[in-house]
């Protein structure tokens, strides 16, 4: 790493030394190589957030919202829609980009195919889905064979690789998410209701929204989908929320990373709920935010001594 990123790395390494001074030795980073590798993953996580911050400052082509366009990009598309104050459309597209993710090779192909009816039908924007959810499900059923073909449909991102591409499963996820988004009328009304219940403190609002998403099929019952979705809403400035915890209960990769860090063993017999406060406390020194900590631990534990850049 060079330039500003090298300076970030030096700063993070110094903070890791402070953590060990204040918390005691951490078995997972007993060697210099392990410390260096985790620090590099932290910097990579920070860079991913910086990338989104940079996108928020740039001009966005309207075609980024169009799944039939070769430059379709739901991340930039959500930014464009937010600027137009089409907040429900922006939140809907953020859900789609989170649910399918960006595959390392296929990019946004799966999102484009489902959102754009496999290029032979309408775009299933929020308003279109609202008007005809059954037609959306019919489209999925009609494309059952296309969904089953990796070459045709594209693949989920690595974070979502165990998700189902069966039409009924996708339809249920979309239907239950739509019900969640519109429970109070629209997403902005949901935020108002959340503030009325728990106040406007961003971490409290995040937690309330996190809990409220449990009923979303294959997206809210676990931990990863709703955590990634809500953190993305915060980063895109679609909701005034930030995670106040790493939310290890129900986690896989981040929990394995936390166990490796604190005990030198990914299989250590401790629950995420018990370990979570100890991991959260790391941010008192690192001051990088809970999402960066959980993301960096997840990636670091895959290769704890040799830095590997991970993408979707």
Percent of the chain with pLDDT over 70: 98
Domains of the chain, residue spans? 3-55+245-300, 62-185
Q: Has residue 312 got a pLDDT over 60?
A: no
Q: Residue 298's closest CA among 258, 240, 265, 242?
A: 258
Whether the CB-CB separation of 220 and 214 falls below 8 Å is answered with: yes
Q: For 69-97, what is each residue's pLDDT tens digit? A: 999 999 999 999 999 999 999 999 999 99
Looking at the DSSP assignment, which residues form a beta bridge with residue 107? Answer: 103
Q: Is the pLDDT of residue 4 over 60?
A: no
Residue 3: the pLDDT is 47
- Which of 22, 31, 24 lies closest to 286 in space, CA to CA? 22
Among 158-167, 199-208, 249-258, 297-306, where is mean pLDDT lowest?
Answer: 158-167
Q: Which of 44, 151, 175, 46 is nearest to 99 (CA)?
A: 175
Per-residue model confidence (pLDDT) at position 5 = 61
Q: Write phi, then psi, for 107 (nearest 5 degrees).
A: 60, -135
Q: What six digits make up the tokens of 106?
A: 């296929």
| Range 278-305 average pLDDT | 96
Is residue 123 over pLDDT 60? Answer: yes
State the chain's mean pLDDT as an integer: 95
Mean pLDDT of 194-213: 98
pTM score, two decimals? 0.94
| The pLDDT of residue 222 | 78
Return d(Cα 300, Cα 40) in angstroms, integer: 9
Higher per-residue pLDDT: 1 or 47: 47
Q: Which pLDDT belongs to residue 161?
A: 82
| The predicted structure's pLDDT at residue 259 | 98
What is the C-alpha separation between 163 and 1, in angstroms, rounded? 35
pLDDT value at 174 more than 60: yes
Beta strands in 35-154 (DSSP E): none
Answer yes or no: is pLDDT of 40 > 70: yes
């Amino acid at each position: 790493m060079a330039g500003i990123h090298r300076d970030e790395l030096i700063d993070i390494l110094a903070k890791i030394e402070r953590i060990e001074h204040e918390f005691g030795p951490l078995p997972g980073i007993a060697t210099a190589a392990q410390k260096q590798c985790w620090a590099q993953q932290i910097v990579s996580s920070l860079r991913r957030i910086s990338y989104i911050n940079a996108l928020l400052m740039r001009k966005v082509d309207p075609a980024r919202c169009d799944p039939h366009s070769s430059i379709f990009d739901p991340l930039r598309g959500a930014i464009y829609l937010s600027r137009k104050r089409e907040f429900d459309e922006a939140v809907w597209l953020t859900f789609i980009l989170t649910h399918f993710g960006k595959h390392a090779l296929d990019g946004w192909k799966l999102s484009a195919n489902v959102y754009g009816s496999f290029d032979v039908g309408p775009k299933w924007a929020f308003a279109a889905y609202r008007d005809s959810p059954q037609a959306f499900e019919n489209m999925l059923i009609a494309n059952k064979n296309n969904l089953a073909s990796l070459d045709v449909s594209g693949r989920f991102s690595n974070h979502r690789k165990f998700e189902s591409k069966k039409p009924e499963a996708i339809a249920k996820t979309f239907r239950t998410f739509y019900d969640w988004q519109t429970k109070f009328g629209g997403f902005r009304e949901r935020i108002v209701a959340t503030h009325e219940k728990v106040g406007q403190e961003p971490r409290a609002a995040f937690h309330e929204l996190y809990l409220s998403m449990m009923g979303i099929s294959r997206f809210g019952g676990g931990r990863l989908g709703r955590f990634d979705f809500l953190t993305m809403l915060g980063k895109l400035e679609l909701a005034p929320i930030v995670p106040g915890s790493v939310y290890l209960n129900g986690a896989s990769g981040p929990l394995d990373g936390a166990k490796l860090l604190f005990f030198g063993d990914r299989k250590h017999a401790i629950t995420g709920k018990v370990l979570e406060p100890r991991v959260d406390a790391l941010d008192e020194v690192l001051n990088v935010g809970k999402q960066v900590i959980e993301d960096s631990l997840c990636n670091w534990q895959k290769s704890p001594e040799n830095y590997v850049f991970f993408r979707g």
